[in-house]
Every structure is written in structure tokens, then in C-alpha cells.
Structure 1
Amino acid sequence: MTQSPLSAEGVEQSRLLATPVPGPRSQALAERQAASVPAGVATTMPVYAARAAGGIVEDVDGNRFIDLASGIAVTSVGAAHPRVVKAVQEQVAQFTHTSFMITPYEGYIAVAEALGRIAPISGETRTALFNSGAEAVENAVKVARSFTGKQAVAAFDHAYHGRTTLTMALTAKNMPYKQHFGPFAPEVYRVPGSYPFRDGLDGATAAKHAISALEKQIGADNLAAVIMEPIQGEGGFIVPAEGFLKAVVQWCKDNGVLFIADEVQSGYARTGQWFASEFEGIEPDLMTTAKGIAGGMPLSAVTGRAEIMDTVHPGGLGGTYGGNPVATAAALAVIEAIEEDGLLAEAQKIETIIREHFEQNPDPRIGEIRGRGAMMAVEFVDPATGEPDAKLTNAVAAAVRAAGVILLTCGTYGNVVRFLPPLTIGEALLKEGLSEVTKALRSA
């Protein structure tokens, strides 16, 4: 994890606060935003990006921020990886769009082949491409219903699957995702999952509770699919207890229910394996991917067993922009970058650095350090009661951002800070960003 002070893309890899935050140009843009963009489109940072590369985002005023967010796990290979930039430039010069449903092109097929190669699904696979994670989830549900002839879908406590009508129904957290936006899609059910820090259950016991709820509330005869993030993202980067997912997936297989692994945030080398499902030793029937799949270009996918995916009638899957040629070119470059640059190993190193940092800087308000690879989180609690401490979390995040570090929060209770740095971040930058978190915690 070494990196030169000046990245290949010309963005100096150092933190710098050249102006007060926000600076004058960011303030002017904020005024324009307020006059033209609805208030519902909120932003985390009060600054506006001008350039980004490696582990740095530079704003319009020349301030440089350490990036511990990767655009919500999107720019895993960096915001301007040379391979991705080159691939996008070359494709733009050829054509930007024909719609694969009208005049197909090789890039779409190549991405489907690549996903079939790296997905943790044995045998022959098929992949359909879309634009966003929510769109992928919706289409996975469509495929599951088509294949099984059943309608019900089950999701878990603390789940996040998107912001569309169907995916909001699958998502557990009300604010800010569901408030005032109902009614939601029918035939969606929620069952208890596995949150070891909060429920104290081992994997077998937690799975028993989940399976009991599936059988009693829905019934396998009515259930098309169970969907779960192998590491729950917005819910708090929750890693299920060992054996939980295996037991749930086995129940699905035994009862003619499809299991959909939502790998939108946890996939594509983020956890130190291609997909978080690999850590759990599970093989999904269908898998959704997005975010880091194309280095910042809008692209998502549903990959699944061929006999399932081929059930849908011709024309039943698609979309005007799905599998856009510029995005597919970027996606192929991302796979190349992960493999050629050894980024799976870099994700594992990032986990080691984050764990060691907080283990060497203990604090009774840290309830748990958890996650895998470069998808790590710290849960803050009241040390006397163990109750979630959202106020402390927000104070720490605000102080860290003011110091020039981009940091995100998450969690059903709003008491988790999450670390999603680019896999290309320099070790010194990562450690500097983590030190600001510790500093803010001590001052809070």
C-alpha cells in the first residue's frame, strides 16, 4: 500500500485545507443548488468536487480531502483509474449508445461472460445488465417470480435494497428512505436476521428464528425468493453470525425458494474477495451487483443460474440504457484493474490497518469493530448501557469532515461510522484519516 505523493492522474495525494470549508466557490455552488435542486437531494459534504484520484477528492476551491467513502463504494479502483479512463475514452470515440435491445454490441456480452467467470455460482450462468442497484434488485425479483410461479419475497431486518417502490418495501429503515412515500409494493415480508452484537445469537439459533418466521408468516409454497446482503450495508455493515446464511440458503434449496444475494455494496473486491458470499460459503441462485462494477459509470447486473434466468420470455428483461456501451467498457477495465493491480490483497491490507488502528486506540464508546476488507465499520454506544449513540456518531463524523476527511455514517440506529476507502488509497493517507476519527472521538 505505497503510493507516490503525486498520483498518475496528477492529483496530489495529501490532505490540504486551502480555504475555510466550504470555500467561496463551493458556497456559490450551494446557492445555485438551493435554487435549482430539490431539498430532498441532500449532500454529506458542503463542498463540490473538481478532481479525484487515488485516496483524494479535490474541491473547486483547491481543498483536498482524504476519501474514506469512494462515492458510497463505487470508485473502488479509484475515481480516475487510468485503465478505466482509457477504456471510456476509446468507447466514446466509437459510439455512446445504440441500446442493446435494438443493435447489440460485444461489450455487453463480454461483461456477462466476465461476471459468469467470477460469480460464486457454479455451472452455466446468464447475466442481464441494468443501470442501478435498485433496478438490479427489482429485476432479480421479477426473474425469481417468473421461474417459481410464486409471488412472495422475504427480506430481513436492517436490510437496504434501494429507493424504488419495490425496493423501498424490501428496505427496513424508514428515515430517510421510506418516510411519506408509501404505499409500497405488496407481497413483501420481513423476518429477523442476524446481528450478533445486538441479538447475541449464534448463527444456528438466529437462522432457526428466521426460518420459523418464513414458514409461519409466508410458507414456502408462496415464497418466490429470499433476498439478503451477505454484509448488510446501510443497516450498519452487519456481518451475520457464522452459519446463519448457510442455514438459510440450505432451507431455500430444500423448499424450492430462490436465494438472491444482494452484492451491490459488498461485491467487486470490496471485502477482499470478489464477493462477500464467498466468505459465507454460500452459492446464491441469483446475485445483484452495481456500485463498484464500472468505476463510476452507471451499471448494474443480475447474474444467475442459466435455467433460472432463461425462464423469462424474450423482451421481459431490458431497458433503454441497460448495459450502455461506455459503462460496459469501464466495467471490463475495472475487472482488469482488480486482477492486474492485486486489489483483492489491497482490500485485505486495508482491513488489517483499520482493525489495528482501533485496537491500538481503545475507547469504551466503541461497541464493535466489524466488517471485511475495505468494508469496515465502528459502532458507537453508551458505555454504561450499550445503547446506540447516534449523537456521538454524528458529532464524530461532523468533526472528521471539517478536518478534511470524507466519512459516512450508517446503521438502523444511526450510530455507525463506515469506512469504504478506494482500494488504491495510500497507507499513509488511510492512517491519517483514521487518526482524525480517533482525534474527533476523544474530543467529542
Structure 2
Amino acid sequence: MTEPTAPITQDVLTLPRKLPEGGKTNLVGLTREQMRDALIAAGTPERQAKMRVGQIWQWIYHWGVRDFAVMTNLAKDYRAFLDERFEIAVPELVSKQVSADGTRKYLVRIAGGHEVEVVYIPEENRGTLCISSQVGCTLTCSFCHTGTQKLVRNLTAAEIVGQVMLARDDLGEWPVPGAPKDETRLVSNVVLMGMGEPLYNFDNVRDAMKVVMDHEGLTLSRRRITLSTSGIVPEIAKTAEEIGCLLAVSFHATTDEVRDKLVPVNKKWNIETLLNTLRDYPRLSNSERITFEYVMLKGVNDSDEDARRLVRLIRGIPAKINLIPFNEWPGAPYQRSDWERIEAFADIIYKAGYASPIRTPRGEDIMAACGQLKSATERARREKTGLGKAAPGGA
């Protein structure tokens, strides 16, 4: 990525200087095509629009700039034009908690005063950012704390991309012009495993990931992005074709009877229907394999027979199985499987030829672990209305 070039002075505007209805347009989260259209609609000459997109894109997504006045390779009058019509806005960071293991949990406020949670997990050779796609969730999975919060609304593409930008702000990851080049990536992986079901917000998630994957900005490859779904079958093929990222499936059971209770969307698209759709995903997306997420619940889904049945079910699908020790939350109706039981389950899967890593719980002391996210806004609302008490220690 080259540093900004000298100012370009020929910025002739062809349309009246009219503000968009409702105020300024946020450039964050717009795809290149959408940004080009927005600039042209505001008055940027069509012949210049592609170049302008490239310049603005680099400032926003490579340098992390939020102020048009800093964009020194744009003429001064064009910067003023942009500032009059557009903004570069990301969600508001309300609070940050840091776990004893280094995990960071951000409480983020979006338009309307709603809040979502974002988690950054540092590891030896990478840093994974877990982002949200909805405020609340529609799926009511019985083991998931987020599922106890009703869906408020989908996040916009700007609010999804903004979570990545906000984390980079906090981590100090934006490059500094003139400083020695540093290839270290603190946010090296993004997982759509936070609040919400990404495939129930497909268009915004797709557009946001186009921005995140763009080779001249945040530059995360599609193999560094994992989308986790509970099994929204009609959108899975679209995910392969229009996003192409890695796919993780919240599976969690080996019979429809049990999965109906754990993941109620199974009543709409059962295990057989889901697996038949998943068989095509690696080919369509050019992915190596699908990750099956399996939360270990004591006496519910953790028997040897469950392990053997799981192996039979996924036969023929390039896959790995992530075993997730249940992360308990106040009032949870389940318990974590005993460690010996988890290891025995993993051993059966491993001997059948599948990778079966046991996920190390991270951020449990700040309620940032898998399945524990729930916005502070919702907890406070329940407290105020007498519907329940806020969970201690975080989400």
C-alpha cells in the first residue's frame, strides 16, 4: 500500500450542492460500487468517480482516517464538498472489559441507542475478532445466553464493518504514514459468531464482508473469515456464491428430537435437509472444509453413541468438529460435560478421521465466552421492568 500522493486539483462538481435527505451519508460499509454511486449522485463527475473511490477507500480502510480534511491527495474544495455531504462514522465504544487471559469484550452502541457486544481473542499467532450481526436474536437456542434476548433489529453493513474498525482503533493497529512498515496483524481473523444469526441479515453481512475482504483496505482474505449459522438452509448456497468465506454450523445434536430443543430452527430445516445442503458448500465456495460446532452438554448430547452418530451423519463432508465445553451463565438450564466425557467424545471422532479440537474457554470471567453475549441494554431493561436481574459480571 503506497502512501498518499500529492493533491489532485481538478475536482469539478456537476450537480447542485444539495444535502441528502436525512443528513449526511455514511461512507463506512458501502461497497466500492455503492460508494461510487453515492459520490456521483452527490455531484462527483462520473469520469472521476472510480479514482475518487480508490483514494477515499485507502484513507478510510488502510489509514483509518475519519476526517476528510486529512485526505491530502484530494483538493481542498473537494474535501469540503465531501464533508458537507458525507461522514465516516463507526459505532460508539461504551465500555471495554479485559479478561485475565487477555480477551477483550467491547460494549458498542449503535443508532437508536441499541447495544451489541464484540469480543477480541488474542492468540499466539493470530487475533480473532468475534463480531455481531443483529441486536438480539430470533433463534432462541436454549443453551445460548444471547438467545434469551429478543431480536431488536438487523445491523447495517456500516455497523458490522464499524466493529472491525473500532477494534483496530482500540488495538492501535492502523499504520502511521512515514513509520516503518509493520506486517503484524492483531485482527487477523474475523468470525461472525457474536450476537444474531448472520444469514437472517444476509445482504448487510455480504456487503460488509466485501468491504472487509477488499484487497486495498482491511485486506482480510475470505479464508480468514468464518460465518457461523444455525442452519438457514436457503441462504447457505448464496453464502458460498456471494461471500465465499469459511462456514461454521452450530450443530450441537445428532437427532432431530434433541436438536429441536437446542436449536429450534431445526424444526424448519431438519438435520437431513441441512446436511444435504452442506455437502455442496466446500465445492461452491472453494473451501477446504466445514466446521461443525458442538457444545458439550452434560447428559444431553455427550454420549459415545452421540459421537458415533455424529461421525455417521457427516460422512462424505470435508469437516472438522469443534467441541465447545458449555459456557455456563446465570440461570442456564444445562451443565458443562465432565472433562473426561469431552475427551472420550473427542477420541471417538478423532479415530474416525476427523479433527476434533476442544475449544479452550476464553473470557469466562467477563462473560465473553461462546454463547454468553447479551447486551447491557437488554439486561438493564429487564431489571427496570422487573422481568429479571442483570447477570453479574457482564453479558
Flag the structure with more relative contact order, 1 or 2, with Cα contacts below 8 A and sequence separation at least 6: 1
Same-fold status (TM-score > 0.5): no
- Greater Rg, structure 1 or structure 2? 2
Q: Report the TM-score when normalising by structure 1.
A: 0.29
